[in-house]
Structures are given as structure tokens and as C-alpha cells.
Structure 1
Amino acid sequence: MRDPEESEQRRLARNLNELLQELRVAQGGVQILFGFLLAIAFSDRYEHIDGHVRVLHLITVVLTAAAVALLTAPASWHRLLFRRGMRKEIIDIANTFAIAGLVCLALAMVGTVLLLGEAVVGGWIAIAIGVLALVGFGMLWFVLPLLRRR
């Protein structure tokens, strides 16, 4: 709820600070995931995996890289546009980047779960585990908050 005593500039500063704090939480995890996915390609077993698993791995790496780019972009925008009187614009674009970054991260997490499922059990069981991950992330990160927002 908005404080009637809070000025527009203070509200924008608070909103930007809250957004940057939220992004810090996501950034650490996505960067660790990115490192993990990169390391897989340099393991001894990688040369023996099937083509579809390699494609899934590449897609997951690209989604993770996109998540890193989108989740770190707001800090760059803030720094480059600092003291230009553009705080509202920075918050608006940073919010869009953050949501898109979380979508990419959720899909990358699903891809990672599917990769692990393929390595451990393979086949339809791996796909079922991937679908469960997709439903879980989709519900927790997007569907439930959007339903609550209404």
C-alpha cells in the first residue's frame, strides 16, 4: 500500500532499490547454473551423449545466458543512466527485463532438470520429470502471483 506521505521521487527510489535487491537474489543462482552447464560440455562423458541431449543442453545454456543478460541488464541501465532524471523509465524497463529473465531462468531450470532426468533414468520418465518441473515453476513463479494480482 502506498504511503500518502511518500514523495514520488522517494517512491521511485524505493521501487528501484527493491527491484535491484530482488535481482541480486536471482543473479547468484543463475550464474552458478550457467557455470554448471558450461562444465558439462567439458566432461569425459559428454562426447558419448545422444544428439537430442546435446541439443537440449545447448538450448538450456542459451536460456541461462539469456537469463544472465536480462537479470543483470537493469544494473547496467541504472549505472549508465544514473542522475539523468530517468528513474521511472529505468524501473519500467528493468521490470520488463526482470520478468523476461525469470521466464528464461525458469525454462533453463526445466531444461536442467530434464537433462538430469535423461542422464539418470532417460525416456518418458525423464520427460515426465521435466513436465513436472515446468508446471511447478510455472505455477509458483507466474500463475499463482498473477492470479493473486487480480
Structure 2
Amino acid sequence: MTQKAEDGPERGRDETPEERADRRWTDLLQELRVAQTGVQILFGFLLAVAFQPRFAGLSDTDRHIYLVTMLLGAATTGALIGPVSFHRLLTGQRLKPETVVWASRLTVVGLVLLLCTMASALLLILRIVVADEVALWLVAGMVAWFVVCWFVLPFWARAIGRRADE
């Protein structure tokens, strides 16, 4: 029996809902490993910034940007580690398909927060390196690049896949 995709046409896999949930959970874990590693490294560097000698010389604006960046980094970490908590607290409750859906949603929230964290960190650094106006343009360009890579291309591929199935 072929299972339907989450919100699309039938696909070529012959698996039960539980098998599908197991496969999707394994895929999600692999994705989270990549994202969590990057976030942990970024957050670690951000934590160290406040202890650098030049930190005392930052303007009030730069300190506010740093504060926002730290909070975004902490929120990102929480969102991308959240699926682990979902899994651990719901294991054995026969809610694997629902767990995968919620963990997937939390991962997307984490990616959006990661985008914001990256933008904020870039703004902080680029304000020190180049003029403020240039920094804003560079950050806007990088945000656009991340949006294209992380969201536009996957949604575009999804739309092409749907059209091919019609």
C-alpha cells in the first residue's frame, strides 16, 4: 500500500505510518545535527565576545545589537534542541507521527531564528569593519542569500515536484 505524502500526491514508498515516522525522524535528526553544530559554534563565539577587551569600547547601539544577537542565538539554540525534548518526553506514548510533525515545525522556527541570529551577528561585526550604510546593504544581501538557499529553493523544488505529479 502506497502512503500519501504529508500534503501531496502518492509517493513510491510502501511503508506504514509508523515506518514513515521513523524514517522522517531519522532524516530530521541528521538535519538537526548539521544545524545544531553551526548554532553551537556561533553561540559559543558570541558568548566569548563580551569578555574581549574591545567590548568595553562598543557604542550603545553595538551593545544593543549584541544583546539582541545573544537572545536570538539562545532562542535558536532552544528551538533546534527542542525536537530532542519532544522525542524524549513523548517516547513510548505512541505519538511518533505527531512528534515528527511538531519537531519539524520547531526546526523550521529554529531555521528562521538562525537566519535572524546570523543577520544580527553580521550587522554587529560589519558595523565595526565598514560604514553603517555599507553594513546594512551587506547584511541585507546576505539575508536575501540565506532566504533563497534555505527557503525559496526548497519551496520552488516542491512546486516543481507537485507540477510533475499532476
TM-score range, shorter chain: over 0.9
| Distance in 1 of aligned mates of 2:136 and 2:150 | 21
CA RMSD of aligned residues (A): 1.3
Structure 2 CA distance for aligned equivalents of residues 79 and 132 of structure 1: 39
Residues 1:27 and 2:27 aligned together: no
Q: Which whole-Å CA distance do the structure 2 matches of 1:149 and 1:124 have between them?
A: 36
Structure 1 consecutive aligned stretches of length 4 or more whose deviation exceeds 4 Å: none
Aligned length: 150
**Alignment match, 1:67:** 76
Which is higher, the Rg of structure 1 or of structure 2? Answer: 2
Task: Specify every segment of 5 or more residues in structure 2 that has no aligned partner in the other structure, as ranges.
Answer: 1-9, 160-166
Matched, 1:8 2:41: no
Structure 1: tracts of 5 or more residues without a match: none
Query: TM-score, normalized by length of structure 2?
Result: 0.86
Report % sequence identity: 39
8 Å CA contact 2:17–2:97 kept in 1: the answer is no
Q: Within 5 A, what are the aligned runs for 1:31-70?
A: 31-70=40-79
User: For 2:100 and 2:106, how far apart are their aligned partners in 1?
Assistant: 10
Q: Are residues 1:146 and 2:155 paired?
A: yes
Amino acid at match of 2:136: I
Moved more, 122-131 or 29-38: 122-131
CA distance in structure 2 between the aligned counterparts of 1:44 and 1:89, rounded to whole angstroms: 48
- In the aligned structure 2, how far is the partner of 1:140 from the partner of 1:83? 36
CA displacement 1:67-125 (0-9 Å, x = unmatched)? 10000111111011111100011011101100000000011111111111112113211
* Corresponding residue to 1:77 among 60, 82, 86: 86
Task: Write the distance in 1 (CA, Å) between the matches of 2:18 and 2:92.
Answer: 12
